[in-house]
A and B are shown apart, each in its own frame.
Chain A
Amino acid sequence: MSANLIPILWDATLQTLYMVAISAILGTVGGLPLGVFLATSQRGELLSTPWVNKVLGLVVNATRSVPFIILVVAIIPFTRAVVGTSIGTDAAIVPLTVAAIPFIARLVENAIREVDQGLIEAARAMGATPLQIIRKVLIPEALPGITLGLTLAVVSLIGYSAMVGAVGGQGLGDLGIRYGYQRFMPEVMAAVVVILIVLVQLVQSLGEWIAARVDRRAPRNRGA
């Protein structure tokens, strides 16, 4: 591989990291409360609002059933309204975030639903408000599961970010297609794939490490 490709790969890697990081953060900001709400708003639950729950559930499912590449193109007017352009890494963040929110919401919902109902009952018996139960019981108890869910979401976003080349989103996937495929430079394709594998590995390991740190459900070896 010629030396002048290194800066190109480096730039593409930074672009991918930028898109994934921002969309993961925005996706969490939107997806975490949405997931908590979905997990607590069915009939008889803490924030019992069955109709809102049903409608939001439908919206989440609808968003998740659209293939990502179609979502990217379909919401171009929205993207342009938000960032002023439909081309470039900033523009790519919009569809990535739109896809991340419902995905993260479902992962958070699942993690929250894993929390033992007995803990909710204990907290209610203490006189806790629904908001206190969410903040002090549900989220802390679900944190190991939420962390693993977010890890899965970030890994998925790395994959999605490769598709936003279609709207000039740049990044590693775009580089692989334009150099590796269209210009017949297999060594670029290989380098892109290797970098993606390393990124995914790092994210997965980091996520599992954090999840283990916050998980107190099994005894720890003391004094080790």
Chain B
Amino acid sequence: MTGAAITFEGLGKSFPKAGGQVMALADITLSVPQGSITGIIGRSGAGKSTLLRMVNGLERPTTGKVSVAGRDVGTATGSGLRAIRRDVGMIFQHFNLLASRSVRGNIALPLEVAGTPRGQIRARVDQLIDQVGLGALADRYPAELSGGQKQRVGIARALATGPKVLLSDEATSALDPETTQTVLDLLAQINRDLGLTVLLITHEMAVLRDIASHMAVIEAGRIVEAGPTYDVFARPAHATTRSFLSGVTGATLPAFVAARLQADPPGDQVIRVTFAGTHATDPMLARLATDLGISANILGGTIEEIGTRPFGNLLISVPHDRGDQARAS
């Protein structure tokens, strides 16, 4: 990874509204590393969609600057802007495929728009159809495809002009979990094979866990936390991040355990232990028992992979008078 594929510098966006301006984004400074899969997570209305649309000039910044491969997008117009857009592919939550065109025709559209000669279009489209695994469906129409197949067409279309950056606007939010996984796998594979930088927005932490190398959390138009995904998962600093994390990393107690603890407080302390990096494989509980003589009770936990590194999360309870000692270890 060398340098930044996309940079936001002090970016702000406000929309005119009856009786004044409504602020959508404020003071966004973020750089998306070349060749990374960077995910931006936020709740609906947090501004993540507006932020993504700045990258290909579908939205204009009110203040600040956004650039792709060193080119300023915010001030580009006309053919300059269209040239930038050909270097930035985009896929959508609702696919946005033309119902009037077959799979082949949809993938050909950006090439037609770019003025590619007909013969070259044909060859390129065949290659793309292979690449996303749609071989048998080339002459089908979108209405005849499943959601996952439609998104594959969307991805092939976004890749048609050989972009350097791929923007993904909630691309898996309309898909079932199994299809989501295959589409994410395809995105990760494209990222590896083509060295393409992927910037995606989502409201699902699991998407970031599965494919994002870097991430940022956006809340009410501001970036509240950003960094390599593993670090953010291991040491979430902001409350919003923790709340997003709680659903995927076992950082909260299973409901039935929480209910039992509330009904019958045992006088124990509940401790959340996260294992990151090399510690993730340490025999921590055994050491507590043998070295300190503390017998911990396991309430819940998970161990999973983020990127390719193990990440564990364990909730234990210890007798309350031994809590500080256990924490210290």
Give me the interface of A with B, judged by CB distance under 8 Å. 116, 118-119, 121-129, 132, 136-137, 140-141, 143, 214, 216-220, 222
Please report the C-alpha to C-alpha distance between residue A125 and residue B89 in the assembled complex, in whole angstroms.
Answer: 7
Contact of A128 among B100, B113, B142 (CB under 8 A): B113
Additional pairs, 4, CB under 8 Å, beyond known A118-B96, A140-B101, A219-B141: A127-B161, A128-B113, A140-B100, A219-B143
A216-B143, A219-B143, A219-B144 known; A127 vs B113 contact (CB < 8 Å): yes
Within 8 A of A (CB), among B125-182: 141-144, 161, 167
A124, B85: Cβ atoms under 8 Å?
A: yes
A121-B58, A122-B90, A123-B109 known; A129 vs B82 contact (CB < 8 Å): yes
B92, A220: Cβ atoms under 8 Å?
A: no
Residue from B92, B110, B113 having most chain A Cβ neighbours under 10 A: B113
What would 7 A/B residue contacts be, using CB atoms closer than 8 Å?
A: A121-B92, A125-B85, A125-B88, A127-B113, A137-B109, A140-B100, A216-B141
Contacts of B100 in A (CB 8 A): 140-141, 143, 214, 216
B112, A136: Cβ atoms under 8 Å?
A: yes
Contacts of A140 in B (CB 8 A): 98, 100-101
Within 8 A of A (CB), among B93-124: 94, 96, 98-101, 109-110, 112-114
Residue from A116, A119, A127, A216 having most chain B Cβ neighbours under 10 A: A127
Which residue of chain B has its CB nearest to the CB of A124? B58
Contact of A127 among B82, B92, B101 (CB under 8 A): B82
A113, chain B: closest CB distance, angstroms: 16
Give me the interface of B with A, judged by CB distance under 8 Å. 56, 58, 81-86, 88-90, 92, 94, 96, 98-101, 109-110, 112-114, 141-144, 161, 167
B58, A137: Cβ atoms under 8 Å?
A: no
Contacts of A123 in B (CB 8 A): 109, 113
A141, B98: Cβ atoms under 8 Å?
A: yes
Please report the number of residue pairs spanning A and B whose Cβ atoms sit closer than 8 angstroms: 73
Contacts of B90 in A (CB 8 A): 122, 125
B201, chain A: closest CB distance, angstroms: 14
Contacts of A143 in B (CB 8 A): 100
B321, chain A: closest CB distance, angstroms: 61
A218, B143: Cβ atoms under 8 Å?
A: yes
B54, chain A: closest CB distance, angstroms: 12
A125-B58, A126-B85 known; A119 vs B114 contact (CB < 8 Å): no
A136, B109: Cβ atoms under 8 Å?
A: yes
A136, B113: Cβ atoms under 8 Å?
A: yes
Which residue of chain A has its CB nearest to the CB of B84? A127
A119-B96, A122-B92, A214-B100 known; A127 vs B85 contact (CB < 8 Å): yes
A141-B98, A143-B100 known; A126 vs B109 contact (CB < 8 Å): yes
Please report the C-alpha to C-alpha distance between residue A217 and residue B142 in the assembled complex, in whole angstroms.
Answer: 8
Please report the C-alpha to C-alpha distance between residue A123 and residue B114 in the assembled complex, in whole angstroms.
Answer: 11
B112, A118: Cβ atoms under 8 Å?
A: no
Please report the C-alpha to C-alpha distance between residue A129 and residue B110 in the assembled complex, in whole angstroms.
Answer: 11
Contacts of B96 in A (CB 8 A): 116, 118-119, 121-122
Contacts of B89 in A (CB 8 A): 125
Contacts of A219 in B (CB 8 A): 141, 143-144
Contacts of B144 in A (CB 8 A): 219-220, 222
A127, B99: Cβ atoms under 8 Å?
A: no
Please report the C-alpha to C-alpha distance between residue A129 and residue B100 in the assembled complex, in whole angstroms.
Answer: 19
